[in-house]
């Protein structure tokens, strides 16, 4: 359902899409495997909206403590050396199936532009093969001899526990 019907709303205000106010034209009915029909309305945008605004999941955590993907990206870039930030802003690569949702790339780029310095050259790359990019990148990383010191064996993890991760990968 997520990959075939959901979409990302163009902005976070969603004024026209409050619960109960979704136009009939945006409703979709789905037949589940057991034959039950379910009509989806605001769920079609609210599910992906949680990527941009996790506080809407109402888990009792304040909004400022639950940054969305755009805030995480901004914060990560701001933690880089000031001389690298321009390159970082101009080389953002999106990966994963959720980034294929209609409107995702545009919304991410717009939200990041609101946070970034006005002169930041924001360039978001969203290639068609991005659903496999994490796997490909992990495979390449695992093959590097310089990465071997960061490997955690099942045996090490069983003996030492999760603290081995901080010892082997302190970044």
- pLDDT tens for 79-122 read 999 999 999 999 999 988 888 888 899 999 999 999 999 999 99
Predicted model pTM: 0.71
49-74 pLDDT, tens digit per residue, is 888 888 777 666 666 677 888 999 99
What is the enclosing helix (H) or strand (E) of 143?
helix 133-143
Distance CA 29, CA 44 (A): 11
- Count the neighbouring beta carbons within 10 Å of the beta carbon of residue 15: 7
């Amino acid at each position: 359902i997520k990959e075939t019907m959901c979409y990302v709303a163009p902005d976070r205000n969603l004024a026209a899409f409050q619960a109960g106010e979704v136009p009939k034209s945006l409703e979709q009915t789905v037949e589940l495997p057991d034959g039950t029909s379910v009509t989806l309305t605001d769920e079609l945008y609210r599910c992906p909206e949680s990527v941009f605004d996790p506080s809407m999941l109402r888990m009792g955590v304040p909004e400022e403590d639950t940054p969305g993907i755009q805030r995480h990206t901004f914060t990560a870039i701001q933690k880089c050396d000031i001389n690298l930030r321009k390159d970082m802003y101009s080389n953002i690569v999106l990966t994963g199936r959720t980034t294929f949702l209609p409107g995702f790339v545009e919304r991410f780029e717009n939200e990041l532009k609101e946070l970034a310095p006005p002169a930041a050259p924001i360039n978001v790359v969203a290639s068609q093969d991005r659903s496999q990019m994490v796997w490909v990148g992990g495979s390449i990383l695992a093959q590097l001899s310089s990465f071997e010191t960061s490997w955690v064996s099942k045996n090490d993890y069983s003996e030492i526990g999760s603290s081995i991760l901080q010892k082997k990968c302190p970044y």
